[in-house]
Amino acid sequence: MYLVSAATSPGSITIGDREVSRLGFGAMRVMGAGEAAPLLVRRAVDLGVQFIDTADIYGDGASEEIIAEALVPYPDDVLIATKGGFVPGVVDRSRVVPGQPLTAPLLPPDGRPEYLRRVCDASLRRLRVDTIELYQLHAPDPKVPFEDSVGALVELREEGKLRHIGVSNVNRKHLATALTITPIASVQNRYNPTDRSSERVLEMCEEHGIAFLPWGPISADNEAIDAIASREHATPQQVALAWLLARSPRMLPIPGTSSIAHLEENVAALDLELSDDDIAAVSALGER
């Protein structure tokens, strides 16, 4: 079992040369807030969120447009990140699991440099910026050499269209390859108390000082987590977020929601301190 300390402070984290608070906001679901979506984004910033993550496929660009509507001119201390590399609206039905929700990895990837250039330009327009602070390759494309996809982002950075480069849905080999080409500011992989398939990628991020952005961070359907939540008068989702914050100083959870009340609950997880025993109990879930 790896060891984490209950005394780990939520504090802040660096992404490239930027420092942000350690609980971000994932904007995949903002469209579900309807007309209140810009208010939801503004409320996140009012609560102290300094990192907002989106992607061109979220609502086929609608998420980026909502963020711009809510925040332009952007506060100096808020970092907006987006992603490109999936083809929106086209689901790879061969990868659909009956009864499971459709998620980004079910979309066909497109890591061709010309495609990444096109979607990056579209994100710049929707976000109403000249430079994207953090642009992430949404997934490796098995039909395109990974170094070509990363190299395309390097070219876009040299042109001033983005400042920092991140990668998503990668393994250790992908990350090692990317690091031979350029500094990597972030890795965004699925990770939560019961899904530790990216454990070794997280460890590599710790070794290189890379921010790790766990997507799907609050999967917490577990009796052990429920028991801790009940005792601490918290929600299971808050316990999951508190555990992630304690798990690694390079962890930057990005829970998303379409509800202001749920957003406020998520941010309140920063104030939840788990005991060493509680942290160990949640950690053990990933080892079963």
Is residue 272 a contact partner of residue 227, using CB atoms and an 8 Å limit?
no
Locate 241 and state its tokens. 């977020």
Task: Name which of 267, 275, 217, 225 is nearest 246 in CA terms.
Answer: 275
CA 266 – CA 238 distance, rounded (Å): 6
Which of 2, 58, 74, 135 does the annotation list as catalytic? 58
Query: How big is the CA angle at 60 (ends 58 and 66), to the nearest 5 degrees?
Result: 65
Residue 117 phi, psi (nearest 5): -65, -45
Of the CA atoms within 13 Å of residue 271, those in its CB half-sphere come to: 11
Instruction: Judge whether 58 counts as a catalytic residue.
Output: yes
Is residue 136 a contact partner of residue 167, using CB atoms and an 8 Å limit?
yes
What percent helix, strand, coil does the chain show, rounded to 5?
A: 45, 15, 40
Find tokens 């749920």 and name the residue.
Answer: 262
Is residue 196 a contact partner of residue 168, using CB atoms and an 8 Å limit?
no
Q: Tell me the residue type at 244.
A: L
Of the CA atoms within 13 Å of residue 280, those in its CB half-sphere come to: 5
Is residue 122 a contact partner of residue 157, using CB atoms and an 8 Å limit?
no
Find tokens 């108390």 and name the residue.
Answer: 193
- By annotation, the residues acting in catalysis are 58
